[in-house]
Each structure stands twice: as C-alpha cells, then as structure tokens.
Homo-oligomer: A and B are copies of this chain.
C-alpha cells in the first residue's frame, strides 16, 4: 500500500527538468502591446542616435571660430539669420558672425559647431534685424550632441530574454520597431484535484475548503510570463481523470496539477503518469515544503504534479516550473535570483531537509535583511501574501538566529540567476 519513494536533492531535480529544453518561439506584436513581454531577439540600433548632429538646448547655433575673441569687455555680436524648431532644418548658409536661433533637439546648421545656451546670450532687435551677443568663447563641439553619440547603427542594446520595461519601450519606438519580436507566451494547462475543494463563490461546508491553489498558481504563471488555461477540478474517478489529462496535453506546452501526488489512496496522478507512459523524472524531493512534488515528461511536454498544500504548491512552482517557463521566454537567467541577506528574526527549528521559508526581504542601511513572512507551517496560506522571497535553509542544519547570513531567492526580481544551486 505504501509506495517507497527516493527523495533527490533540489538541485538535481531542477537539473533533470532543465535538461528538457522545451523550445520557445517568437511572434511579432504591436509596440502598443509589448510592454511587459520578453524580447525574442537582441534589440539592435537600426540607425545612429542621434542620426544627425543636434542641439541639446534652446539657444543659438554659431561657428565657434567667431567666438574666440568674445569676453566680458568685448562681447561678440551675431546676426540671427534663421530660427529653427525641432524637426526643422535651416535652408540658409551660415556665414561669419551669423547665428541661428535653435530649439532643443533641432538639427545643427551645417556650418555651425557650437551652441550658445539661450540664458547666456543677449538677444535684441535693431533696424528690423535680429542680433545676439555673447561674452565668452566656445570650443568646437560645445553643447552639440553628435551623430552616433548615443548609439551606433548595429549596436546591440538590450539582450533577448529581457522583460520589456518603459525604457525599452522608448528604445523600441526610437528605432522604429512598430512590430516587436517577443517570445510567445508558453501555454500552461492547470488542473486542481481534491474532493475537499469548493469553488470561490461557494459557501463553506464541513470539512471542505475553497480552492485557493488554482488562483494562486494562475497568478504565479502570469508573473513568470506565461499564459494559463484553467481546466477546473479533476473529477474523482480515475478513467475520467486520465482522459481529461490526456486531452489537455494536446493543447498546452506544460501541464500543472495541484494535489493528488501523495501516496494516499485518493492520489490518482502517479497512476495517470503510468498509464500515459510518461517518464517520471522524480517523485520526491529532499525539501520542505513540497517533498511530494512530481515531474514527468511525455512526448516533449512536461507534467508538473505539485502538492495540494498551498505553500508546497507555491514553492514547487517557483523552483521547478518557473525556470523552464523563463527558458522558453529566452532568458539566460531563468532561475529565481539568489542573494544573501542577514536574518533579523529567530528560526529555531532544525532543518532535516532543505527548507524554503516564505520570507520578507527588506533593506536596512543599504543591506538586505530577511525575516519569515509568517508562521512557517506548510498549510498556512497567510504567510504567502507578505513573501517576496524564499529563504533557503540547507538540510542538515540546526536552527538559525538573528544576525546569521542566509541565502534568499527573490520572487519579484526581474533579473534572475543563471543557476541558483
């Protein structure tokens, strides 16, 4: 009755999953939709920036040679022969002691090589002509943004796999990416299992609880960058379960189930993997919570059997499912970012197995500090709300105390790690 399972270390479990290189693919979408998506290609400069010499200030474009003698006592006087706004180009040839009133961002007249800021020039009219005078000299290039100064055509500006943020949107627009190559969102199927589960709108019943895992994992899938198809609750009957899983596998890249992976009598998943002919990569991990996490592969697709216990489910997803999703989004750092922090609370429990503690990482005087975000029982949903990280307490260690240095995995970080183990 009691199947014997051999737990493997967390790092080995992650490695087994990552060996299945599920291929990501690219699609082009409008720049209006690309914020928050992941670049499918390195973002390259399609032209020099600026693509012409331009003025970074409001002022007067001059030939610097004409300013050489200018001083407080001997201001240099220029006739202002044109007036150009950004987006305009002068049609005049600028001669000695002539200047052009130029606005921020406008293209420099060909003959000019310096800009006098508006505040430093004295402008006046005389006999219907415009003049301005200055009291200091300028060097060639003063206050000019030169062609190619920011970026050269062909420069690689942002790596593929990067999540598009407001700054990247600006770059995409600058270089004319009206259509942006982004990673297609992997499609993740989701089943919940458990006769004890009520839907969110149902009133409580004795012995039953509402299905929180489906909503939680859906949000985790979205945070990872993928798309979810929620198939609802698996029925209680093995054959119907099997058919539902088999059918769903046709439409998704990855299938996640919550619950049903223990060795209890109502746990159908192991039987389903067997009947499918799926290869079980592991069905027990030397960790708490989430030791019953099972991962299998079948015809190039991955099946994640996460624990039905909310915290174990949460941790199992972040450690095992997130990296393969990020890999499909072309990330070179698909794992949760791992950093060190100082513990600012007591954690006296011993850790017979590697423990992942739901943790609030904070900053204090420029340093990372960490404290458990709630009571660390694996059935406690509440501590997940305040968790922005998972503290790693290695197996075989005794309790930890104030001031100890611990490793933390950051859940909300956009950077990631190449390999956190």
Q: Is A220 an interface residue (CB 8 A)?
A: yes
Q: Which one, B216, B266, B368, B385, contacts A173 given CB within 8 A?
A: B216
Residue among A203, A210, A222, A263 facing the most chain B CB atoms (10 A cut-off): A210
Residues of B within 8 A of A47 (CB): 204
Contacts of A213 in B (CB 8 A): 170
Contacts of A1 on B, CB cut-off 8 Å? 123
If A216-B169, A219-B165 touch, whether A204 touches B51 (CB-CB below 8 Å) is yes
Contact A266 B85 (CB under 8 A): yes
* Stretch in contact with the other chain, from A10-18, A347-355, A375-383: A375-383
Select which of B106, B169, B266, B379 is within 8 A of A196 by beta carbon: B106
A340 pairs with B314, CB closer than 8 A: no
Nearest B residue to A119, CB-CB: B2
Identify which of residues 1-38 in chain A touch chain B, using a CB-to-CB cut-off of 8 Å: 1-2, 31-32, 35-36
Least distance between A171 CB and chain B CB atoms (Å): 6
Residue A128 interfacial (CB < 8 Å): no
Most chain B CB within a 10 A radius of its CB, from A173, A379, A388: A173
Q: Is the CB of B381 within 8 A of A167?
A: yes
Distance (Å) between the CB of A384 and the closest chain B CB?
3
A278 at the interface (CB under 8 A from B): no
A179-229 contacts to B (CB < 8 Å):
194-197, 200-204, 206-220, 222-223
Partner of A262, one of B58, B87, B168, B405: B58
| Residue numbers in B under 8 Å from A219 (CB-CB) | 35, 164-166, 169
> 8 Å CB contacts to B: which residues of A398-419?
405, 412, 414
Question: Could you tell me if B314 and A167 are in contact, using CB atoms closer than 8 angstroms?
Answer: yes
- For window 135-192 of A, CB contacts with B under 8 Å fall at 145, 150-151, 157-158, 164-178
Shortest Cβ gap from A62 to chain B (Å)? 18
In the assembly, what is the distance between CA of A177 and CA of B199, in Å? Answer: 10
Query: Contacts A158-B385, A206-B89, A210-B173 known; A196 to B314 CB distance under 8 Å?
Result: no
Q: Is A107 an interface residue (CB 8 A)?
A: yes
- Whether A212 and B174, one on each chain, are in contact in the complex, defined by CB atoms closer than 8 angstroms, is yes
B145 touches A379 (CB 8 A): yes
Q: How far is it, in angstroms, between the C-alpha of A381 and the C-alpha of B168 when the chains are bound?
A: 9
A105 contacts the other chain (Cβ, under 8 Å)? Answer: yes
Bound form: Cα–Cα A166–B318 in Å = 11
Cα distance A339–B251 when bound, in Å?
A: 46
A118, A209, A314, A387 interface centre (most CB from chain B within 10 Å): A209
A129 CB to nearest B CB, Å: 15
Complex: how many Å from CA A305 to CA B207?
58
Of the candidate stretches A63-71, A269-277, A359-367, the one touching chain B is: A359-367
- Which B residues are CB-close (under 8 A) to A85? 195-196, 264-266
In chain A, positions 318-363 with a C-beta closer than 8 Å to chain B are: 339-342, 363
Whether a CB of chain B sits under 8 angstroms from the CB of A309 is yes
* Interfacial residues, chain A to chain B (CB-CB below 8 A): 1-2, 31-32, 35-36, 47, 49-52, 54, 56, 58, 83, 85-89, 103-107, 118-119, 123, 145, 150-151, 157-158, 164-178, 194-197, 200-204, 206-220, 222-223, 262-266, 308-310, 314, 339-342, 363, 365-368, 375, 377-388, 405, 412, 414
Nearest 6 CB-CB pairings of A with B: A87-B196, A167-B384, A86-B196, A166-B219, A170-B216, A107-B207
7 examples of A-B residue contacts, CB within 8 angstroms: A2-B119, A31-B200, A32-B215, A58-B263, A165-B223, A170-B310, A171-B212
